[in-house]
Every structure is written in C-alpha cells, then in structure tokens.
Chains A and B, each alone.
Chain A
Amino acid sequence: MSSAFYRRIAAARFQPLQPATGSWNRSHQNGVAVAGLLAQAIDGAPTRSPMKVARFTLDIMRPVPFAPVDVDMVPVRDGARMQLIDARIMADGEIVARASAMRVRMDSTPSVEEAPPAYPGPAAAPVNPVTSVLSTGHPMETKVVAGSIREPGPGAFWATFNADVIEGEPMCPLARAAMASDVGSAPSSIVERGKWSFANVDLSLYLTRLPVGPWVLVDAVTTSGGSGVGLVNSTLADEQGVFGRAHQTLFLAPIETAS
C-alpha cells in the first residue's frame, strides 16, 4: 500500500495515489485527501512574520477528478500582522476546490483555555475504528470513544495518520486537524443508515492553536433544522486539550431504493 495520498510531480502539480480514492466514486478524490493537500499547500506558503492558521475554510465545488491536479495560491492580503490566502485545486482550467486561510502573527497575549474533553486518551482507548475500512495499517487509523456510525447520535473518535499527505513531506499539524475533522460526520449521524445520504460539502476549522502530537480527537454532534441541510459541530482536541472547532455542511437526501 502506498504510504502517501499524493506524489508531487511538478512544483505545484500532484498525482493522487490510492489513499486519495473517493469512497463513493473511484474516479473522484476523497474529501479527506483534498483537505490534506490544500492544508499542506497553505502551510507551505511563506508569511511576512511568524504566523499560525486561525481559520481554514474548504469548499469543494465540483468532484475532484482522480487525475493529476494543479494547486495555485492566491494571497488576498499579505500583511505583516495577518495573511488571508486562498489555495485552489484547478482541473481543466476550472476551480474545483478552494481553501481559504486566515493566518495571524504570533505574540504573547492572555490565555484562557477550555476544559479538556472527558474521554480516555488514544493510548487508553480500545482499538475501535470509525468504520471497517479505517483499521490499523490504513493511512488513517481511528479509535471511537463515544457513539458509532451504526447508530444515530453524537460521536467522538481519535484519529492518526500513517501516511504522508505528499510523498516524502511530513504531514503538517493543520493537515492532521483538517483531515481528522472531515470524518466528523461519520459517527455523528442523525439519520437512519441506508435511508439517507449525508455528503459533506464543505469543511471549516477554527483554531486557538495547532494540534501537537500524532493524535487528534474529534467530538462531533450533527444537527438539522429539517430543511435537507445538516450541520456537524465538532470540538477538536489533542492530548494536551481543546484546540478548536470544526463544522461541515451536510447535504441530506433520501437514498433512492431500487424497486
């Protein structure tokens, strides 16, 4: 099995590898991979002073084809105090996915941190993957500590990655947070399995700091006002405590059953 989601084949051109294959359609790339690729691109973009990413917003506008893609960076504002930058995946000259990041200069200011979530840490948690395909050895390894994908209701899991996003380049903490967050919809479903589909169409991260260490906890609750749209609300933590929030918009639709 490949140990990376992508291979860099030119300065800003990436070949997707097997772990980037779409779960629903093998001719598309999956959202976890796309989130990771754009997070790595943003992390690699220089800033005028030391900065950290405070917000990351990803829109996938069209299915990303399972084929080489170009990533281009567009700074909207490149200042010494903050940077607003877009990273776009282009396919056939069209923007198929866009991530925007707000980066803020670092300085010493008052800290008030949230209470840590009351779950066992990754070492103490039993092996209990989110889904049968995310077991040990897979590029993404998970341990569920609350809820499950088989039952409606909130869910929480630890995630770690056994593969680079880009072959030969270490996974950055932003990519780790974004990729883990993208799975938040899975164990927090509010609909009956097999009757409704709930594809996530965007991903937004709000961070007080970047995660430290190989494991990220995603504590997810899905809500809906009954309008065919769901919202996943996730609290993100690492072994040191809470570091942010994530949200996904879900497209809720009944699954057409064959007669």
Chain B
Amino acid sequence: MSDSFYTGGEGRYFATDLAVSPWNPKHQNGVAIAALAAHLIETSPTLAPMMLARMTLDIARPTPIGAFDAVCSVTREGRRMQNLDVVFSAAGEITARVSALRVRTASSPVSEDVLDYPSPDDTPPNPLARRDPRRAGLETRVLHGGLTKIGPGSGWARPALDILPGVPASPLVAAAMAADLGSGLSSIFPHAVWSFANIDLAIHFVRAPVSTWIFVDAATSSAGDGSALVNTVLADERGPFARAHQTLFVEPIRIASASPREAQTA
C-alpha cells in the first residue's frame, strides 16, 4: 500500500510529512492541498450527472503540517449547475479556500485544442526535482524547461502517493496535482535567486481527464511588478482537456545564515 499525503476524514485531517512544501518544511505543499480539495469535490454528491468545470484554489495562509480541517459545502445547489466551496482551516483561521463549479453533462459538438506531444512511454524519466518522487508527491518526466532553465517548459506527471490511506489519486485529482507544476516547469527567474511560490491555482476543464498521467505545458510571464502569471495547458493520453493558471508571489530569496557579503554574491 502506498503512503498517503493525509490521514483522517469527515472534515478533520492530518498532513503527513509527505505533504511538506519545498519552500518551508512546516507548511503543506500546494500539490497536496490541491489533491485533497479535488478529492473532496469529486466525492461530494450532485443532483444530476455533472462534470467539474472549474476549480479555483486560493492560498490565504500556509496550511500547517499536522492537524487541520477541510470542509466541502454546497454554496448553490441545482440540477444544471452546482457551486461548491472547500475551506481549509487551522487554529481557527482560514488557510485555503477553493471555489468550484460543476455543470450537468449532455451531448454537444466537440471542438478541441490541439497540442503536439509524445506519449509518457516515449518521454524519458527526467525528474523535475532531485527529491524522491514520494516526497514530491508526483513522479515527473520533464520534456523541456524545468527549475534551472529559464523559459517555457513541459513534461508528464503522475501521482506517487495516495491522498488518504487506501484512496489512490483519480485522474481528476492527478490533474489538480499536476497543474501545480506549471510554475516549476516554466520558471523565468534565475535559479535560487528569486522565490516564486504560487498563491493560487485555477483549473478550467473541457472534460474529465482519462488517465493519471498528466501532460503539463506551461509558460510564465510577468510585468515585473511583484507577481507573475503561469499559463498552462493540461493534457492526457487522449489530448488537451484543461487550462490552468497560477499567480506567483515573487520576492528575493532570503539567505538567512549568509553574511551580507555572501548574500551579495549568491
């Protein structure tokens, strides 16, 4: 049995150290938060067959490793559309808030995005980060770009952990996790000089993904005034199925232990 990001249920959860953020070991990774939010949405009932059309995750504060609450509630019920919120909180404060829109499914004309990319089998293993994929939450195969290359990037990602004990990541959960890789794949910042954590993650779906292997094709841009925007296309083995965006909070990396002279040359 795989290890999981979380244990718990019914609104009360515990983040294991597999959910740790690369930016701060006391905080949860956005990949894990997105995974749990997608799982709670997906397992929440609807009045008619529906698909998730949009999921918008806002990080208000870091969510701590350890105990926290995550509650999914319907803000507007309906047979044609449903709005949901998932609220994460710890120590009485909201740490993350997801707003989601689900829409009834029906038959309609197809008009899909086109994207040219190799299958996961034709993409050599090439991890995004040197960490063990179990600690990163995802197994990754970078096709181009990455943390040390400035410019657009792409690659395949697949969950390496369960969400909860005995609950593997579904294709929808895998998509939410993979979407969070857009910023790392497409960095425009000199490595180890700038910090660019994402403070939100939004995914717009045209259909549900059909596999847990998710292709991420991302590009970052910025007007140079303190934030950056990642624009991402998500695809599976059938083709593109979603667009995703992240707002990045951009600031210099503080090297706390360096002398002022070392900090200048870092």
Q: Chain A interface (Cβ within 8 Å of chain B)?
A: 52, 54-55, 57, 59, 61-62, 76-77, 81-82, 84, 95, 98, 100, 102, 104-114, 152, 190-191, 196, 201-202, 204, 206-209, 222-231, 233, 242-245, 247, 249, 251-253
Contact = CB atoms under 8 A, between A and B. Distances in A.
Contact of B51 (A57, A62, A229, A253): A229
A55 B194 CA distance: 21
Contacts of B108: 191, 196, 224, 226-230, 252-253
A112 B188 contact: yes
Nearest to B188: A112
A251 B101 CA distance: 12
Contact of B111 (A106, A112, A209, A224): A224
A259 to B, nearest CB: 21
B75 interface: yes
B223 A243 contact: yes
B223 A111 contact: yes
A69 B254 CA distance: 47
Interface residues of B, number: 57
A156 to B, nearest CB: 17
B71 interface: no
The dominant DSSP class at the B interface is strand
B225 A113 contact: no
Interface in B34-79: 51, 53-54, 56, 58, 60-61, 75-76
A206 B229 contact: yes
B231 to A, nearest CB: 6
Contacts of B190: 110
Contacts of A112: 188, 220-222
